[in-house]
Chain A
Amino acid sequence: MLAAGALLVISTLLIALWVPGDRAEGYRQRIFYLHVPIALTSYLFLLVGAFYAARHLLRRDPMDDLRSYVAIHQGVILGTLVLITGPIWARVSWGIWWDWSDKQLNTFLLVFLFYCAYFMLRYAVEEGARRERFSSIYALLGIGMVPLSLGAVHLAGTIHHPTVFHRDGPAMEHSMFFAFLVSWAAFILLASALWRLELRGKLLAQGVQRLQRRIRGEAVLP
């Protein structure tokens, strides 16, 4: 957690003071180094959630369901940050908060809302194997939208969301790409640390529940 915090501080300083300014966008282009890595980390954690969901369906290990749930939670929290930082950037660059004709924005919003509904489904079903199975299937269903959303920036062809990453490499200076990578590493490290911390909390909560059931004399599954 400390390493993640330190890297986030270094990344913020690089973005604010070191990275060269963009000729077209000026100082506000620095939002790119925060907004894009957060979006990519959000996608990554939704993919991690889907991976553990698939593993849960194969092995029926409740721990995999818990790992999937916490990863999706991280993905949604990061998604919230994407939806906060994106409109701020849009407002200052395009003069609007949101562009409903932009496929990238709309597909991201769709993915975000789909995974928000995951929590509604999860807590609508009683705790147990059935809930774990439903949650895993739902987590897997949504994952097809992630490559669609990622690809939408190339398919969109709008001036609002210019493409920076091409097949022949990133269309930016080396120093800019370095700052981008440091920022992305910081967010992956931070989200991983928070994933472990939240998972520990879930396991502790289960331990407390198990002990309380034993005190009440109820049967406890191992």
Chain B
Amino acid sequence: MLMKPFLDMQFGERIITLMAALVLVLQIAVVAQRWIVTHIRIFAIQSFLLAMIAATIAWFNHAPHIYIAAGMTLVVKVILVPIFLERLVVRMEIREEIKPIINVPLSVMISGGLTLLGYVVAESFFKPDEPGLGHNELAVAISLFLIGFFTMINRRKALTQVLALLSLENGLFLAAISLTYGMPLIVELGILFDVLVAAMVLGILVYRIRETFESMDVSLLRRLRG
């Protein structure tokens, strides 16, 4: 009897919606906080939730190949990339807070607006008569994507931009899961490999920028014009 809810699809969908909502809350928390280490940890938790969503879908749909994608996400985006980035932060001895261009309360409001926009866009994909996840997940995915863009514009520090880029990718992962239960496995692996390499390449680049300019402020990068 104890197993019964774990076989019921409805129950599964509710868990997934809950986790997707948490992912969204975390994304807005990113906008609200000011420390780079917190940002990295939030990214790790977010990725962990995404891996759990993927695993839940694999469980309720009996699709073993999604487990592999979930496991790889866990290894790459929850363990390897955050560890690499945190080490980078330690090595670069970043202690200062990040000052966003737009102040925090307004940023949070803008993120709320972007979430609304995400729901509007997701509406057009929602077909009630078809199997597939509800449009909640897709709306969250699109909101992640949009808020990721916003973070990128709003915080002109090199490492935050890298993290924003990674959260764009998280949004896409969620979109893929909610639209089609994930991309084909080979594509998923290709994407994760690229994410890992991209985090390293960009991390090294950030390190060298910090060494050269003694700052991570990308608005200092303006020598090349015309």
Partners in one complex: no
Chain B interface residues (CB < 8 Å from chain A): none
